[in-house]
Structure 1
Amino acid sequence: MKDFVMLLAEIVNEIHDILIEMFGLHMTDKELHFWIIGIIGMATFFVVYFFFKLIEKMKWSITILSFIYTFTGMFVLVFAIELQQAITNRGNMEFADAIAGLWGFLVLFIIYALIAIVFVIIKKFFNKR
Protein backbone atom coordinates (compact mmCIF):
# COMPACT_ATOMS: atom_id res chain seq x y z
CA MET A 1 0.00 0.00 0.00
CA LYS A 2 2.84 2.34 0.82
CA ASP A 3 4.32 1.69 -2.62
CA PHE A 4 0.95 2.46 -4.20
CA VAL A 5 0.72 5.80 -2.38
CA MET A 6 4.28 6.64 -3.36
CA LEU A 7 3.45 5.82 -7.01
CA LEU A 8 0.42 8.13 -6.88
CA ALA A 9 2.58 10.88 -5.36
CA GLU A 10 5.15 10.43 -8.13
CA ILE A 11 2.41 10.65 -10.80
CA VAL A 12 1.08 13.86 -9.24
CA ASN A 13 4.61 15.32 -9.14
CA GLU A 14 5.13 14.43 -12.82
CA ILE A 15 1.84 16.10 -13.79
CA HIS A 16 2.90 19.16 -11.79
CA ASP A 17 6.23 19.33 -13.67
CA ILE A 18 4.52 18.84 -17.05
CA LEU A 19 2.07 21.68 -16.33
CA ILE A 20 4.93 23.98 -15.45
CA GLU A 21 6.97 23.02 -18.55
CA MET A 22 4.12 23.00 -21.08
CA PHE A 23 2.23 26.08 -19.99
CA GLY A 24 4.89 27.97 -18.09
CA LEU A 25 2.63 27.94 -15.06
CA HIS A 26 4.37 29.39 -12.08
CA MET A 27 1.78 29.15 -9.35
CA THR A 28 2.03 28.76 -5.65
CA ASP A 29 1.02 25.41 -4.22
CA LYS A 30 -2.30 26.88 -3.08
CA GLU A 31 -3.05 28.35 -6.51
CA LEU A 32 -2.26 25.04 -8.18
CA HIS A 33 -4.51 23.19 -5.72
CA PHE A 34 -7.26 25.74 -6.32
CA TRP A 35 -7.29 25.17 -10.08
CA ILE A 36 -6.55 21.46 -10.28
CA ILE A 37 -8.95 20.38 -7.53
CA GLY A 38 -11.54 22.84 -8.83
CA ILE A 39 -11.34 21.39 -12.35
CA ILE A 40 -11.34 17.78 -11.11
CA GLY A 41 -14.28 18.57 -8.81
CA MET A 42 -16.35 20.15 -11.58
CA ALA A 43 -15.59 17.30 -14.00
CA THR A 44 -16.62 14.81 -11.32
CA PHE A 45 -19.78 16.80 -10.60
CA PHE A 46 -20.89 16.70 -14.25
CA VAL A 47 -20.22 12.96 -14.54
CA VAL A 48 -22.10 12.25 -11.29
CA TYR A 49 -24.94 14.59 -12.30
CA PHE A 50 -25.32 12.82 -15.65
CA PHE A 51 -25.20 9.40 -13.98
CA PHE A 52 -27.80 10.34 -11.34
CA LYS A 53 -30.11 11.86 -13.97
CA LEU A 54 -29.86 8.57 -15.86
CA ILE A 55 -30.78 6.66 -12.69
CA GLU A 56 -33.69 9.05 -12.13
CA LYS A 57 -35.04 8.43 -15.65
CA MET A 58 -34.83 4.68 -15.08
CA LYS A 59 -37.15 5.15 -12.07
CA TRP A 60 -34.75 3.45 -9.66
CA SER A 61 -35.31 4.09 -6.00
CA ILE A 62 -33.26 6.28 -3.71
CA THR A 63 -31.56 3.07 -2.54
CA ILE A 64 -29.09 3.06 -5.43
CA LEU A 65 -28.15 6.69 -4.79
CA SER A 66 -27.73 5.94 -1.10
CA PHE A 67 -25.52 2.96 -1.95
CA ILE A 68 -23.31 5.02 -4.29
CA TYR A 69 -22.92 7.80 -1.73
CA THR A 70 -22.17 5.35 1.08
CA PHE A 71 -19.73 3.30 -1.01
CA THR A 72 -17.86 6.48 -1.92
CA GLY A 73 -17.65 7.42 1.76
CA MET A 74 -16.45 3.93 2.68
CA PHE A 75 -13.80 4.12 -0.06
CA VAL A 76 -12.44 7.35 1.41
CA LEU A 77 -12.65 5.98 4.96
CA VAL A 78 -10.74 2.74 4.32
CA PHE A 79 -7.90 4.56 2.58
CA ALA A 80 -7.81 7.22 5.30
CA ILE A 81 -7.46 4.45 7.88
CA GLU A 82 -4.63 2.84 5.91
CA LEU A 83 -2.82 6.18 5.58
CA GLN A 84 -3.29 6.80 9.30
CA GLN A 85 -1.71 3.41 10.01
CA ALA A 86 1.29 4.31 7.85
CA ILE A 87 1.75 7.70 9.50
CA THR A 88 1.41 6.47 13.09
CA ASN A 89 3.04 3.04 12.58
CA ARG A 90 0.08 1.44 14.38
CA GLY A 91 -0.89 -1.48 12.22
CA ASN A 92 0.22 -2.30 8.70
CA MET A 93 -0.66 -0.13 5.75
CA GLU A 94 -1.82 -2.65 3.17
CA PHE A 95 -3.94 -2.27 0.07
CA ALA A 96 -5.46 -5.70 0.82
CA ASP A 97 -6.85 -4.35 4.13
CA ALA A 98 -8.66 -1.57 2.29
CA ILE A 99 -10.09 -4.04 -0.23
CA ALA A 100 -11.18 -6.38 2.60
CA GLY A 101 -13.02 -3.52 4.28
CA LEU A 102 -14.83 -2.60 1.07
CA TRP A 103 -15.74 -6.24 0.51
CA GLY A 104 -17.22 -6.32 4.01
CA PHE A 105 -19.52 -3.44 3.14
CA LEU A 106 -20.46 -4.96 -0.23
CA VAL A 107 -21.26 -8.40 1.21
CA LEU A 108 -23.39 -6.96 4.02
CA PHE A 109 -25.16 -4.67 1.56
CA ILE A 110 -25.92 -7.61 -0.73
CA ILE A 111 -27.38 -9.52 2.23
CA TYR A 112 -29.51 -6.47 3.07
CA ALA A 113 -30.64 -6.16 -0.57
CA LEU A 114 -31.62 -9.84 -0.75
CA ILE A 115 -33.63 -9.58 2.47
CA ALA A 116 -35.32 -6.43 1.18
CA ILE A 117 -36.18 -8.15 -2.12
CA VAL A 118 -37.74 -11.06 -0.23
CA PHE A 119 -39.90 -8.65 1.79
CA VAL A 120 -40.98 -6.80 -1.38
CA ILE A 121 -41.95 -10.09 -3.05
CA ILE A 122 -43.90 -11.21 0.04
CA LYS A 123 -45.64 -7.81 0.23
CA LYS A 124 -46.64 -7.98 -3.45
CA PHE A 125 -47.89 -11.55 -3.02
CA PHE A 126 -50.16 -10.61 -0.10
CA ASN A 127 -51.36 -7.39 -1.81
CA LYS A 128 -52.59 -9.40 -4.79
CA ARG A 129 -54.79 -11.50 -2.51
Structure 2
Amino acid sequence: MKEIIITLAEIVNDIHDLLTDMFGLHMTDKQLHFWIIGIIGMVTFFMVHFFFKIIEKMKWSTTILSFVYTFTVMVVLVFAIELQQAITNRGNMEFADAVMGLWGFIVFFLVYAVIAILVYFLFKTFKKKKRR
Protein backbone atom coordinates (compact mmCIF):
# COMPACT_ATOMS: atom_id res chain seq x y z
CA MET A 1 0.00 0.00 0.00
CA LYS A 2 2.92 2.28 0.69
CA GLU A 3 3.98 1.84 -2.94
CA ILE A 4 0.48 2.79 -4.13
CA ILE A 5 0.56 6.02 -2.13
CA ILE A 6 4.04 6.87 -3.40
CA THR A 7 2.92 6.18 -6.98
CA LEU A 8 -0.17 8.38 -6.53
CA ALA A 9 2.01 11.15 -5.11
CA GLU A 10 4.33 10.88 -8.13
CA ILE A 11 1.34 11.08 -10.49
CA VAL A 12 0.09 14.22 -8.72
CA ASN A 13 3.58 15.75 -8.96
CA ASP A 14 3.75 14.88 -12.69
CA ILE A 15 0.37 16.53 -13.27
CA HIS A 16 1.60 19.61 -11.38
CA ASP A 17 4.69 19.78 -13.61
CA LEU A 18 2.60 19.20 -16.76
CA LEU A 19 0.23 22.04 -15.89
CA THR A 20 3.16 24.32 -15.20
CA ASP A 21 4.87 23.43 -18.50
CA MET A 22 1.70 23.40 -20.63
CA PHE A 23 0.14 26.62 -19.49
CA GLY A 24 3.20 28.41 -18.19
CA LEU A 25 1.38 28.83 -14.94
CA HIS A 26 3.57 29.24 -11.94
CA MET A 27 1.13 28.82 -9.11
CA THR A 28 1.73 28.24 -5.46
CA ASP A 29 0.45 25.00 -3.97
CA LYS A 30 -2.48 26.89 -2.45
CA GLN A 31 -3.47 28.36 -5.81
CA LEU A 32 -3.08 25.01 -7.57
CA HIS A 33 -5.17 23.26 -4.90
CA PHE A 34 -7.83 25.97 -5.20
CA TRP A 35 -8.26 25.41 -8.94
CA ILE A 36 -7.73 21.66 -9.25
CA ILE A 37 -9.74 20.61 -6.20
CA GLY A 38 -12.44 23.14 -7.11
CA ILE A 39 -12.78 21.71 -10.63
CA ILE A 40 -12.60 18.07 -9.47
CA GLY A 41 -15.19 18.86 -6.79
CA MET A 42 -17.63 20.40 -9.28
CA VAL A 43 -17.25 17.52 -11.78
CA THR A 44 -17.81 15.05 -8.94
CA PHE A 45 -20.80 17.04 -7.68
CA PHE A 46 -22.53 16.96 -11.09
CA MET A 47 -21.90 13.22 -11.49
CA VAL A 48 -23.15 12.44 -7.97
CA HIS A 49 -26.15 14.73 -8.41
CA PHE A 50 -27.08 12.97 -11.67
CA PHE A 51 -26.89 9.50 -10.09
CA PHE A 52 -28.67 10.58 -6.90
CA LYS A 53 -31.54 11.99 -8.99
CA ILE A 54 -31.90 8.52 -10.53
CA ILE A 55 -31.71 6.84 -7.11
CA GLU A 56 -34.28 9.31 -5.76
CA LYS A 57 -36.92 7.73 -8.02
CA MET A 58 -36.27 4.22 -6.64
CA LYS A 59 -38.36 2.57 -3.93
CA TRP A 60 -35.82 2.55 -1.09
CA SER A 61 -33.94 5.69 -2.10
CA THR A 62 -33.13 6.81 1.45
CA THR A 63 -31.60 3.43 2.28
CA ILE A 64 -29.58 3.42 -0.94
CA LEU A 65 -28.32 6.96 -0.33
CA SER A 66 -27.49 6.11 3.29
CA PHE A 67 -25.49 3.09 2.12
CA VAL A 68 -23.58 5.14 -0.50
CA TYR A 69 -22.75 7.84 2.05
CA THR A 70 -21.74 5.35 4.74
CA PHE A 71 -19.60 3.38 2.28
CA THR A 72 -17.82 6.59 1.28
CA VAL A 73 -17.13 7.43 4.94
CA MET A 74 -15.90 3.87 5.52
CA VAL A 75 -13.45 4.12 2.59
CA VAL A 76 -12.00 7.31 4.05
CA LEU A 77 -11.85 5.78 7.54
CA VAL A 78 -10.20 2.56 6.37
CA PHE A 79 -7.48 4.40 4.46
CA ALA A 80 -6.96 6.82 7.35
CA ILE A 81 -6.37 3.83 9.64
CA GLU A 82 -3.93 2.31 7.15
CA LEU A 83 -2.04 5.61 6.86
CA GLN A 84 -1.96 5.90 10.65
CA GLN A 85 -0.41 2.42 10.82
CA ALA A 86 2.28 3.47 8.35
CA ILE A 87 3.07 6.66 10.25
CA THR A 88 3.22 5.07 13.69
CA ASN A 89 4.69 1.71 12.57
CA ARG A 90 1.95 -0.09 14.52
CA GLY A 91 0.67 -2.83 12.25
CA ASN A 92 1.27 -3.36 8.57
CA MET A 93 0.00 -0.92 6.01
CA GLU A 94 -1.57 -3.20 3.42
CA PHE A 95 -4.17 -2.61 0.73
CA ALA A 96 -5.61 -6.07 1.49
CA ASP A 97 -6.41 -4.92 5.05
CA ALA A 98 -8.38 -1.97 3.70
CA VAL A 99 -10.29 -4.19 1.27
CA MET A 100 -11.06 -6.74 4.00
CA GLY A 101 -12.38 -3.99 6.28
CA LEU A 102 -14.71 -2.76 3.55
CA TRP A 103 -15.85 -6.33 2.90
CA GLY A 104 -16.75 -6.53 6.57
CA PHE A 105 -19.04 -3.53 6.23
CA ILE A 106 -20.63 -4.92 3.04
CA VAL A 107 -21.30 -8.32 4.63
CA PHE A 108 -22.83 -6.79 7.77
CA PHE A 109 -24.94 -4.48 5.60
CA LEU A 110 -26.16 -7.41 3.48
CA VAL A 111 -27.21 -9.27 6.64
CA TYR A 112 -29.10 -6.15 7.75
CA ALA A 113 -30.70 -5.80 4.28
CA VAL A 114 -31.91 -9.42 4.25
CA ILE A 115 -33.42 -9.07 7.74
CA ALA A 116 -35.04 -5.72 6.82
CA ILE A 117 -36.53 -7.15 3.62
CA LEU A 118 -37.91 -10.18 5.50
CA VAL A 119 -39.48 -7.94 8.16
CA TYR A 120 -40.91 -5.67 5.45
CA PHE A 121 -42.58 -8.54 3.62
CA LEU A 122 -43.84 -10.11 6.86
CA PHE A 123 -45.52 -6.83 7.88
CA LYS A 124 -46.91 -6.39 4.37
CA THR A 125 -48.35 -9.92 4.39
CA PHE A 126 -49.74 -9.47 7.92
CA LYS A 127 -51.48 -6.20 6.93
CA LYS A 128 -53.14 -7.85 3.91
CA LYS A 129 -54.48 -10.71 6.06
CA LYS A 130 -55.72 -8.25 8.72
CA ARG A 131 -57.72 -6.22 6.15
CA ARG A 132 -59.71 -9.27 5.02
| Aligned mates of 1:60, 1:128 — CA distance in 2 | 21
Counting matched residue pairs gives 129
| Aligned mates of 1:96, 1:54 — CA distance in 2 | 32
Q: Does 1:50 align with 2:50?
A: yes
**Percent identity among equivalent residues?**
74
Deviation at 1:60, TM superposition (A): 3.3
Higher RCO structure, 1 or 2 (CA under 8 Å, sep 6+):
1
Residue type at the aligned position of 1:114: V
Deviation at 1:90, TM superposition (A): 1.1
Aligned to 1:61: 61
Deviation at 1:12, TM superposition (A): 0.6
| Aligned mates of 2:76, 2:61 — CA distance in 1 | 24
Deviation at 1:56, TM superposition (A): 1.1
Scaled by the length of structure 1, what TM-score is found? 0.97
Aligned to 1:87: 87
Per the alignment, in what secondary structure is the counterpart of residue 92 of structure 1? Answer: coil
Aligned to 2:125: 125
Deviations 1:12-66 (A, max 9, x none): 1111111011111100011001111111111111111111111112343300000
Scaled by the length of structure 2, what TM-score is found? 0.95
Please list every run of 5 or more consecutive structure 1 residues that lacks an aligned counterpart in the other structure.
Answer: none
Runs of 4+ in 1 over 2 A off after TM superposition: 57-61
